Amino acid sequence: MTEKLFYSDPYISRFEANVLSCDKINGGFAAVLDKTAFFPTGGGQDCDRGTIDGIFVSDVYEKDGVIFHITEKPLETGKTVFGEIDFERRFLFMQNHSGEHILSGTVHRMLGYSNVGFHMGSDFVTVDFDGPMTKEQILEAEEKTNEIIWSDLDILTYFPSEKELEKIDYRSKKELSGDIRIVEIPGVDFCACCGTHVKKTGEIGLVKIVEHMNYKGGVRLFILSGKRALEDYRNKNAEIYKIGTLLSRKPSYTAEGVEKLLEENSQKKYEYSLLWKKYVSALTANIENTDGTAVFCENGADNDSLRILALEAAKKCAAAIALSDDKNGVTRYVIASEKTDVREINKKLCDVFDGRGGGKEALCQGSLHATAEKLREFIKSVM
């Protein structure tokens, strides 16, 4: 059994220990110490990172009470070593894990829902509840969670005896046996948990629910706590100020500015489509009904415009091909016909010019590795 220093004091970041064993494994070495401050992966929380005698520890896991430290170099058995964890990373986990407990306890008290899934990812902490929540209930849960944080309550961790445990109505996502560690926030939450936590709720700072989605008949909340929440606010605030500057709007009016921009863009698209249709009519007016293939190069045109052109021209010839050179060695194309299966033309072009595309009998589209002018010459000479 490895002595778990992170339980006696989760703020320990440096420690001395004796190396009990160190075995070579795939990708490194698995070292066992008589005691450690490195938290192993478990309970939805990722393991600690850090060094032992300056050697990087890339992974930490527990098996049958023994904690294994995965290192890139071997440690000498019997030697006293110095370990140091990345405490900034650990403290982020402590803030986010403790924040999740308060939120889960709050939702349980509000709605009776249980936390049925929890994961501390690199971007967000996700919490799954076994019942639906409205936007108003999510906001209420967030508000109550932060009120508890600002009350600066104690967060207690302990291993109760079997008799003591019988008297505790604690939360747990699964049936547990053996020594059960309880994380208690008096008057707020009792939860069985193996993770690391801050000592006072005030150290969390705040909890922000940044996103939510329906999930398996319940709801999944994406949350950030403490420093992560602050960094998220800074990043989003900077983006809002950038958008405001681009729109010549104050930050609090950026949504209004974007709405106006979208309306103007929609109107311009409509006006463009009318002009493009007039242009296409003029461009195809002199096409004589023929069994040949008409080719048009309209560089800069989008796919919808190419489609309109090809379909209109196809009314007067066997097949029509509209091209747009993207000036990167790739040309987008649309082939249309009312008289023949254009999939044969499409296949020939893709085979010759390393293209990607497809479609139906009357219409195909895609991209080809050639300039529009080169394609025009090839089509005229072969088709």
List all residues 6 or more positions away from 230 whose beta carbon is below 8 Å from its beta carbon. Answer: 205
Q: Amino acid identity, residue 287?
A: I
Residue 327, pLDDT above cutoff 80 = no
Spatial contact of 37 and 83, defined as CB atoms under 8 Å apart: yes
For residue range 114-124, list pLDDT tens digits in order: 999 888 887 88
Residue 265, pLDDT above cutoff 70 = yes
Instruction: Look up the pTM and report it.
Output: 0.76
Spatial contact of 32 and 25, defined as CB atoms under 8 Å apart: no
Residue 331, pLDDT above cutoff 80 = yes
Q: Where in the chain is the domain with CATH 3.10.310.40?
A: 286-382
Report which of 92, 88, 93, 82 is spatially closest to residue 57, judged by C-alpha positions: 82
Across the range 204-213, mean pLDDT stands at 96
Spatial contact of 198 and 95, defined as CB atoms under 8 Å apart: yes
Residue 168, pLDDT above cutoff 90 = no
Q: Where in the chain is the domain with CATH 3.30.980.10?
A: 91-233
For residue range 337-359, list pLDDT tens digits in order: 998 899 999 999 999 999 999 99
Per-residue pLDDT at 383: 67
> Got the DSSP string for 38-107?
PPPSBTTBPPP-EEETTEEEEEEEEETTEEEEEESS---TT-EEEEEE-HHHHHHHHHHHHHHHHHHHHH
For all residues of the chain together, what is the average pLDDT? 92
Give residue 376's pLDDT band: very low, low, confident or very high (50, 70, 90).
Answer: confident
Spatial contact of 291 and 316, defined as CB atoms under 8 Å apart: no
Residue 177, pLDDT above cutoff 80 = no
For residue range 272-312, list pLDDT tens digits in order: 999 999 999 999 988 876 678 899 999 889 999 999 999 99
The better pLDDT of the pair 176, 55 is held by: 55
**204 burial type by CB count under 10 A (0-12 exposed, 13-18 middle, 19+ buried):** buried
- Homologous superfamily (CATH) of 91-233 is Threonyl-trna Synthetase; Chain A, domain 2 (3.30.980.10)
If you count them, how many residues does the chain have?
Answer: 383
CATH code, residues 3-85: 2.40.30.130
List all residues 6 or more positions away from 63 whose beta carbon is below 8 Å from its beta carbon. Answer: none
* CA 345/CA 337 separation, integer angstroms: 11
Q: Which CATH number fits domain 286-382: 1.10.620.20, 3.90.1300.10, 3.40.640.10, 3.10.310.40?
A: 3.10.310.40
DSSP state, 288? P
* CA 68/CA 27 separation, integer angstroms: 14
Residue 129, pLDDT above cutoff 90 = yes
List all residues 6 or more positions away from 358 whose beta carbon is below 8 Å from its beta carbon. Answer: 343, 346, 364, 366
Poorest-pLDDT segment among 33-37, 157-161, 324-328, 337-341: 324-328
Q: Where in the chain is the domain with CATH 2.40.30.130?
A: 3-85
Across the range 66-75, mean pLDDT stands at 95
